[in-house]
Amino acid sequence: MIVRPVRPDEYERLGEITVAAYHALPGHVHEPEYDEELRDTAAKVAAGCEVMVAVGDDGRVLGGVCFVPSADNPFHETAEPGAVTFRHLAVDPAAQGAGAGTALVMWCVDRARQLGATALAIHSTPWMTGAHRLYERFGFARDPGHDWVPVPDVPLLAFTKPL
């Protein structure tokens, strides 16, 4: 498996994977507007995010992540000063458990260090328990001071990893 930048011919597929992964979560709150944000890979790339994909040995896109390299990026979510963030981590439900999520988070940690960030942050819903375990394995800790509720019934829990 490799992690590399998403190609334009993969934008649609990554959007489909991201929506499918979020919809597969027990407790997921359906938000049509958020589905469009999840699906719109081109907008993330155009905004200056580093959108990466995990690709299997067969060339198939298994998942992706949106790395947000600076606080002035429109996709940046609340975090401590000096932190960078990532969003929309998703793995095709049919490929979960094969290491794509781990590879994508590892890439984000390495990239944040390359940029000289002081921390890496992510927000996650309470029902993303598998992701929480992944973040904890990488040394992320809950950061309740940066929790927020962007829309009713969707609390976002902050996790931060000092670098």
Residues 124-143: pLDDT tens digits? 988 888 888 999 999 999 99
CATH code of the domain in which 46 resides: 3.40.630.30
pLDDT, position 94 = 92
Residues 102-123: pLDDT tens digits? 999 999 999 999 999 999 999 9
Percent of the chain with pLDDT over 90: 69
Domain that holds residue 115: 2-162
Read off the pLDDT of each residue in 39-64 and give the average, rounded to a whole number. Answer: 96
Q: Give the least confident one: 2-11, 29-38, 84-93.
A: 29-38
User: Is it the case that residue 29 has pLDDT exceeding 70?
Assistant: no
Give the count of alpha carbons within 13 A of 104, CB side only.
34
pLDDT, position 28 = 64
Closest among 135, 131, 129, 127 to 154, alpha carbons compared: 127
pLDDT, position 22 = 85
Q: Locate tokens 């938000």: which residue? A: 31
CA distance 1 to 151: 36
Model pTM score: 0.92
- Tell me which amino acid residue 118 is: T
Sign of the dihedral through C-alpha 35, 11, 161, 22: positive
Structural domain count, the chain: 1
Confidence of residue 11 (pLDDT cuts 50, 70, 90): very high
